[in-house]
């Protein structure tokens, strides 16, 4: 009986913790349960909405330069590192946000997309269909598992 109570408390604490992600909040399930996950190489600078070209795809305002093929293992790794709170820090870095990669997690009509800077200045910009997702620039720890995973998938390093 004691073990059942401990197990129940552990599971409840797990579910409570899930709702407290500092960026994705209660919508982290979009990443966890994403049916479609895409990895892109994107432009360094965002493009003003009025200058978007009709035949070009954008993540936020970053132009998609290339689609990168990923495996089911890559998808699981990208979900895991995107949700790892240790990757995100509260300190503010003074370097500019430049695009390099974008990861888009889609579940039904909902999505969360991360535009990730080169690892010379670890930042991420968040875009989402959900209003309560913290859509702004976030600084990443150095080193972080997001960049490490991207380096393994793409075979390239920014340093």
User: For residue 50, with 0-12 CB atoms within 10 Å meaning exposed, 13-18 middle and 19 or more buried, which class applies?
Assistant: exposed
More confident residue, 75 or 138: 75
Per residue in 11-52, pLDDT (tens digit) is 444 444 445 777 887 889 999 999 999 999 999 999 999 999
Residue 91 placed within a domain: yes
For residue 5, is it within any domain? Answer: no
Instruction: Say if 61 falls within a structural domain.
Output: yes
Residues of the domain holding 114 = 22-154
pLDDT band at 134 (very low <50, low <70, confident <90, very high): low
Give the predicted TM-score (pTM) of the model.
0.83
Q: List, for residues 74-117, the tens digit of each pLDDT value.
A: 999 999 999 999 999 988 888 899 999 999 999 999 999 999 99
Three-state DSSP at 17 gives: helix
* Residue 12 lies inside a defined structural domain of this protein: no
């Amino acid at each position: 009986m004691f073990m059942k109570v401990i197990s129940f408390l552990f599971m409840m604490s797990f579910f409570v913790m899930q709702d407290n992600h500092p960026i994705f909040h209660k919508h982290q399930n979009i990443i966890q349960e994403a049916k479609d996950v895409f990895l892109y190489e994107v432009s360094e600078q965002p493009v003003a909405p009025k200058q978007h070209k009709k035949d070009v795809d954008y993540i936020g305002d970053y132009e998609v330069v290339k689609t990168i093929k990923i495996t089911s293992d890559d998808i699981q790794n990208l979900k895991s590192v995107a949700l790892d709170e240790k990757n995100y820090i509260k300190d503010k870095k003074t370097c500019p946000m430049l695009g390099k990669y974008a990861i888009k997690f889609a579940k039904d009509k909902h999505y969360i997309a991360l535009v990730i800077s080169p690892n010379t200045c670890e930042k991420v910009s968040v875009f989402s269909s959900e209003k309560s997702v913290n859509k702004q620039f976030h600084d990443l720890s150095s080193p972080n598992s997001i960049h490490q995973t991207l380096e393994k998938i793409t075979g390239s390093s920014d340093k």
